[in-house]
Structures are given as C-alpha cells and as structure tokens.
Amino acid sequence: MRLIALAGLPEIGPGDDLGALLAERLHGVEPSLARFDVLVIAQKVVSKAENRFLDLASVTPSARARDLAAATGKDPRLLEAILAESAEVLRAKRGVIVVRHRLGYVMAQAGVDRSNVGGVERVLLLPESPDESAARLRATLARLTGVAPGVVISDSFGRPWRLGTTNVALGAAGVPALWNRRGERDRNSRPLESTEVAWADAVAAAAGLVMGEADEGLPCVLVRGLRWSAPDVPALDLVRPIGEDLFR
C-alpha cells in the first residue's frame, strides 16, 4: 500500500470545481489512476468548494446559545451556528462542546470551524451531505479520467477514552466504508473476531499521516494498493445507531 499526497492544489474557494482540479493533479501520477485507487480529501476543502461558509455577523444567538457560550467560554454566535448544525448537545464544558450532528456524527463543535480569512469573521460548516459530495467528486473524476476511484472525505475527530485526534471518514463513495466480514474465517478456519471493520476510517487515518496537520497544504492523498471484495457502503453507515450505543 502506498500513500501519495497530491501537491499543487490551489487554495480552494466557493464554486471551484474540486473534481476537475483533482483530475488535473492526477494527470501527473504514474502509473495512471486505476481501479482500487482511493482518493482521500480533507473535509475543509470540500466545504469551501461547496461554499459552506457562514458569516458570523449574520448570526443572532438564541438564549440557549448564550447559555452554552457562557458554559464553554466560546463566542455565542459560534454556539448558535453549532446548534443549527446539531441534533443534540451531549456534553458542554469550558472549551469543549460535543454534539450529535444533524447527520448523526458525534463530534466536537458539530464540525464548525472558525475561518477568519481576510478579516471577515466566518465559520465553515460540514458539507450538506458528505456521502453525496464524495459521490459527486467520484462522478467528476470518472468523467475526466475514465476511472472511478474510491473517494473518502475525511475529518479530524477526538475520541472518548483516548487522547489525541485521528482522521475518520465523513463521506465515502465507491468503497466499503463499513466492511462486514461476518462469516469469513482466518487461515486456521476460525470465524473472524472483528466482524465489522471501520475500513474507511482506517483509510482516512492513514491518509492523515501524510496530510499532516497543515491539511490546507496537502488536503488530498492518493492511496494505492488496497483491495476489497465488499459492496460499496456510504460513510453514514459508520455512525452507530443511537439505540445501539452504550456510551452517551
């Protein structure tokens, strides 16, 4: 397995055709794009291309947002933007707010990032539907290169119980984001113990090592040498249904 960070992507802005820009960068790759290649793209550049910016000056915080702002020590307008993206607030304390995003992801800040470019106080929201964003990018790449690669849109998540962030898959297309291996056996013919593998999360974590943290510098990583025999599964299937969760 090889991971290659794609260099030379310009700063992405609203309306940019991210798929076309990626296809251009992929022209220089040898050997050329092939089946089982997977492209991992940082959520931020997808959100920017999809103009998921929100001007904080346009936001009027509700009473609830002001309460949570006091509890967390954050900007009330930022809290209002977070609440608008959330189905439920799970934890809030000084410096931290963990929510269930409207799409189900349990994550800090509902994925809302401050982005004070050029003196304007803006935030950047997650894509409307990361799985659909991944599918659109895949379709564009298929049209422009003749090959439909796997596409994973990644974001950096904290975890309970363990320190530090790792990248996970927010969106996916053309890959088994969750790989159900129930019924498979190991080489000693014993049933596999881990029957569901968070495959796209592992791909996102691997790519994160190459993106580094300055993900606006190298937000796209080509992963080669993977093989899979499972059907395509979107990344939203990685979200554990509420009723099956022992830790909320």
Q: With left for phi above 0 and alpha for psi between -120 and 50, is residue 78 left, alpha or beta? A: alpha
Cβ-based nearer residue to a second copy, 58 or 247: 247
- Residues that bind a second copy (rule: CB under 8 A) add up to a total of 60
Cβ-based nearer residue to a second copy, 16 or 237: 237
Binders of a second copy in range 1-20 (CB under 8 A)? 1-3
x/- map, 107-136, a second copy, by CB under 8 A: ------x---x-------------------
Binding of a second copy by 154 (CB under 8 A): no
Structure tokens at 60: 């009027």
**Residue for token pair 């940082």:** 42
Binding of a second copy by 165 (CB under 8 A): yes
157 pairs with which residues across the strands? 166
Binders of a second copy in range 219-238 (CB under 8 A)? 225-226, 237-238
Binders of a second copy in range 181-200 (CB under 8 A)? 181, 184, 186-188, 192-194, 196-199
- Report d(CA 199, CA 65) in Å as an integer: 36
- Report d(CA 194, CA 196) in Å as an integer: 6
| Backbone φ and ψ of 49, nearest 5° | -60, -35
Contact 89, 101 (CB under 8 A): no
- Least distance CB 206 / a second copy (angstroms): 3
Q: Vertex 50, ends 87 and 155: CA angle to 5°?
A: 60
Binding of a second copy by 217 (CB under 8 A): yes
Cβ-based nearer residue to a second copy, 137 or 206: 206
Structure tokens at 114: 């401050």
Considering only the stretches 27-35, 87-95, 134-142, 143-151, report the one whose residues sit in contact with a second copy under the rule CB under 8 A. Answer: 87-95
- Chain center to CA of 208: 11
| Backbone φ and ψ of 137, nearest 5° | -60, -40
Considering only the stretches 46-54, 127-135, 144-152, 153-161, report the one whose residues sit in contact with a second copy under the rule CB under 8 A. Answer: 153-161
By CB under 8 A, name the one of 173, 206, 219, 222 that touches a second copy: 206
Binding of a second copy by 35 (CB under 8 A): no
Alpha carbon distances (Å) from 140 to 18, 21, 90, 125, 145: 9, 10, 37, 23, 8
Structure tokens at 8: 């030379």
- Least distance CB 99 / a second copy (angstroms): 11
- Chain center to CA of 145: 24
Instruction: Write out the residues near a second copy by the rule CB under 8 A.
Output: 1-3, 90-91, 93, 96, 98, 105-106, 113, 117, 156, 159-168, 178-179, 181, 184, 186-188, 192-194, 196-199, 201-203, 205-206, 208-210, 213-217, 225-226, 237-240, 245-248
